[in-house]
Chains A and B, each alone.
Chain A
């Protein structure tokens, strides 16, 4: 050990000072707003405590029943139903305590002008309750939903609370962006691509110099790698993104901004199964649990290019690519077909019916059985040329 230390010492690795402070994800004014919101909540609790009333926090419900589809805006919106969380209720006492702890943690973060991941936040508020052996949280799964509760109950976005989720998703294409002051040329990202941060607010990411004509969003990084290796984005002058399954907030926020701010159409290449259909629905309308953020994340103009149920015959695929629909898939497909934002769309109803009639699902990778680059060289270009989309 001692030897190693001296060796290291010769390198003279002196800690450098960061050249620039990380920018706050939101403006100072927003931070002030958020702090005052937390303060208001705290004061209400203190007031009712001192007045011998049961302290409470009202939390809007994040359930299907409290969801509304706004036909005009074509996005999912949250209803007005909320649930009251009381301290003096056996089932809610602990959750109430956790809500207060996390609210306090967020306040600390904002004041320190730093951000933490969901897991980081869990650790920040984790300690043993005095006089017992009980921890404030049993695991992260207890703190995550409460942070979401805080977001909705204070109408503050996650970024405004200085919290981010684990980042997922990659981008490459004909665009240059400025991320926290660093200029990033997405044309020169090698095989790995630019990893999309979880906070994609304008204060962090600015667009500069975009030549692309459209955005192609694919479901998984494996497919994305295929497209990147074939330089699809160069050939077709586009941006290529990937969301590792259901896209995280960062990816969805970025897609919306590309669509709204730069006017780029968004095309989605997803599996032909209920899961793929739901991913499309989330990108387009917003998700049920984050409906309160649809307005910032949904891309109502997104289009679905494949894989289509008819592709089995159209592309003359082999039997081997069929994956049987199981009981759950069938129920889920019927459920999706019944969503108000799908029910009026005949092409979608036909598509789902077709898949159910087929009795099997197909992944994007199934096209590889035709040829390694069939999907990039034939399938997607053909669909784009034919403007054969589902809306």
Chain B
């Protein structure tokens, strides 16, 4: 080290002398505000713009999330149109259009041009976006990489013409700069319903298919949002249409006030500063949920204050005491009616739309609380059918209906899936990894505040309460899957039994004819009749085994389960390997399984 230094000093001996000695004044001249937008421009990986591929995906994701949120808030069934145009190898233009309520002209520049501007950050309300960074960050990224402003066309009402705005972001001031502001004429084509918003962003990116692609993101979005109708035009100019399968908007989530146990000291101090209340009791009662007059008095007295204490007089010391008091006093958990889960029925509809399987089931847990925030876990499982079966199961994760594509292994839901004991449900599970088989596991967390591990919202933080709920929901689904798999195995065994008998009956009949001289055909048909009767009887006996049959029947009656009999090519495959190597016998067997499927469908009754 020292030799290096001396070498450097020998080469430029004057530099050492020129070292500027900073004074408090000179430093002060350089110290200034760092705008949030500048910070994020430098740290764009925090928002999910690490690389060109992810940047393109994040841009689409933010735009689609905003579109869906807007439609739902406006009480409109969402029709989303997504198009990616490839300008050259690394340059793309994305267009996302919705039929939402539109945006008032003067708000456009704030929403799209300012970071940390939004309606959702200050609300305790379940929504896709949270901080108000997303779409403006995407626009900023586009501007930085291509220099092109963001183009927004919005039509808030049928009667008014749509306005078209080009917006540039001034990163140093965290403010939007309006490049152009026109009226858009041919808006009927864009917005046949008379309202909606279209965003166009040009950016540097990279388009790839497969895992963690835009295609996967939209597929998963369609699964979690069966009420949305999504049209997607790929860079290759192919159109993919995810049709709406549920014609009902999810309930509107309610806004709640923060729960006292869910806030930190800093937040408490901030709330004290901002409140419009004059006295402590009023502050506690009106700015928090689950605090009544008694609780407010209890908290105040535990902190050495009274309900009549003036907010103005509460200093840092008192705030700290107040915070401690809140932690010690028992307060009812927050209300959970503010949560709007997807619901088992809609989850099944979504899975049916997105995954070609033979068995589907879904479970919704009752709401629970972590750190004062209410949340609710939902799990769906799809098994068999066209799902690839050799590798580990696929886990698809959602938070407030938004698919999470990155950082699977650090996500709470992934850990929950590992912890469930899938072996009990007829699946193989190597130690410390996911179960294997043709299985898709869908995990959704709905919460007023989803605890992400980072701002790019890629993984859910690992809270014990959350993981426990996930595990319970997974087990509920797993049990149903296990019942189904057991029944399928039994069905297979029954068909096996029948074919074995049918195979040997002919030989027995012939030998009997040779020995006794009685007609072989007569014996054959008599035995065949008996074989059929006996296997049918065996089926029945299995069904009548008390508990087993109850389980199966209840499975069929269960409205959280869908069995698609026709989408089960796997049974045939297994049949082929088990018995028929010869075409004729295979044909015979297919008939048998088909018959059985019919009866199975009759039994299950429902085909959604």
Contacts and interface: CB of A to CB of B under 8 A. Distances in A.
A39 B515 contact: yes
A46 B511 contact: no
A49 B582 contact: no
A100 B581 contact: no
B501 A88 contact: yes
A130 B530 CA distance: 20
Contacts of A101: 507, 511
30 contacts: A39-B516, A41-B515, A42-B512, A46-B512, A46-B523, A49-B509, A49-B530, A50-B523, A52-B526, A52-B529, A52-B530, A52-B533, A53-B530, A87-B501, A87-B504, A87-B505, A88-B531, A88-B534, A100-B507, A100-B512, A103-B511, A104-B514, A129-B504, A129-B506, A130-B507, A131-B588, A132-B582, A132-B585, A133-B581, A134-B503
Nearest to A127: B507
Contacts of A38: 515
Given A39-B515, A55-B527, A88-B530, 18 more contacts: A39-B516, A42-B512, A42-B515, A45-B512, A49-B526, A50-B522, A52-B529, A53-B530, A87-B501, A88-B501, A94-B500, A96-B508, A100-B515, A101-B507, A107-B514, A131-B584, A133-B582, A136-B507
B148 interface: no
Interface of B: 497, 500-501, 503-509, 511-512, 514-516, 518, 522-523, 526-527, 529-531, 533-534, 581-582, 584-585, 588
A90 interface: yes
Given A42-B516, A52-B533, A87 B506 contact: no
Contacts of A107: 514-515
Interface residues of A, number: 33
Q: Which 7 A-B pairs have the closest CB atoms?
A: A42-B515, A100-B511, A97-B504, A42-B516, A104-B511, A133-B582, A104-B514
Contacts, number: 91
A104 B515 contact: yes
A243 B582 CA distance: 47
A97 B524 CA distance: 13
A255 B509 CA distance: 43
Name, among B497, B515, B529, the residue most crowded by chain A CB atoms within 10 Å (CB to CB): B515
Nearest to B581: A133
B531 A97 contact: no
A103 B515 contact: yes
A96 B516 contact: no
A93 B511 contact: no
B585 A93 contact: no
Nearest to B584: A131
Nearest to B502: A131
Contacts of B585: 131-133
Interface string A32-48: 00000011011101100
Given A50-B526, A131-B584, A55 B508 contact: yes
A133 B585 CA distance: 9
A54 B538 CA distance: 14
Contacts of B503: 129, 131-132, 134
A93 B500 contact: yes
B533 to A, nearest CB: 7
Contacts of B505: 87
B405 to A, nearest CB: 49
Given A50-B523, A132-B585, A94 B504 contact: yes
Contacts of A93: 500-501, 504
Interface string A15-47: 000000000000000000000001101110110
B500 A90 contact: yes
Contacts of A104: 511, 514-515
A100 B512 CA distance: 7
A129 B507 contact: yes
A93 B514 CA distance: 19
Contacts of B509: 49
Contacts of B508: 45, 49, 55, 87, 96-97, 100
Contacts of A88: 501, 530-531, 534
A54 B534 CA distance: 10
Nearest to B497: A90
A301 B195 CA distance: 113
A122 to B, nearest CB: 15
Contacts of B518: 46
Nearest to B529: A52
A104 B522 CA distance: 18
A130 B509 CA distance: 12
A101 B504 CA distance: 11
A96 B526 CA distance: 17
A49 B512 contact: yes
Interface string A348-379: 00000000000000000000000000000000
Contacts of A94: 500, 504
A130 B581 contact: no
Interface string A84-110: 000110100110110011011001100
A87 B508 CA distance: 9
- Between A46, A87, A97, the greatest number of chain B beta carbons within 10 A of the residue's beta carbon is seen for A46
Nearest to B533: A52
B373 to A, nearest CB: 57
Interface string A56-80: 0000000000000000000000000
Nearest to B534: A88
Interface in A200-239: none
A350 to B, nearest CB: 54
A97 B516 CA distance: 16
Contacts of B497: 90
Contacts of B506: 129-131
Nearest to B509: A49
A87 B588 CA distance: 21
Interface centre among B497, B526, B588 (most CB of A within 10 A): B526
Nearest to B537: A88
A38 to B, nearest CB: 6
Contacts of A42: 511-512, 515-516
A101 B507 CA distance: 8
A41 B514 CA distance: 12
Contacts of A54: 530, 534
Contacts of A133: 581-582, 585
Contact of A49 (B507, B527, B584): B527
B507 A97 contact: yes
Contacts of B526: 49-50, 52
Contacts of A43: 516
Contacts of B527: 49, 55, 87
A114 B155 CA distance: 102
A286 to B, nearest CB: 31
Nearest to A87: B508
Contacts of A97: 504, 507-508, 511
Nearest to A103: B515
A229 B518 CA distance: 60
A32 to B, nearest CB: 15
Nearest to A95: B504
Contacts of A100: 507-508, 511-512, 515
Interface in A100-126: 100-101, 103-104, 107-108
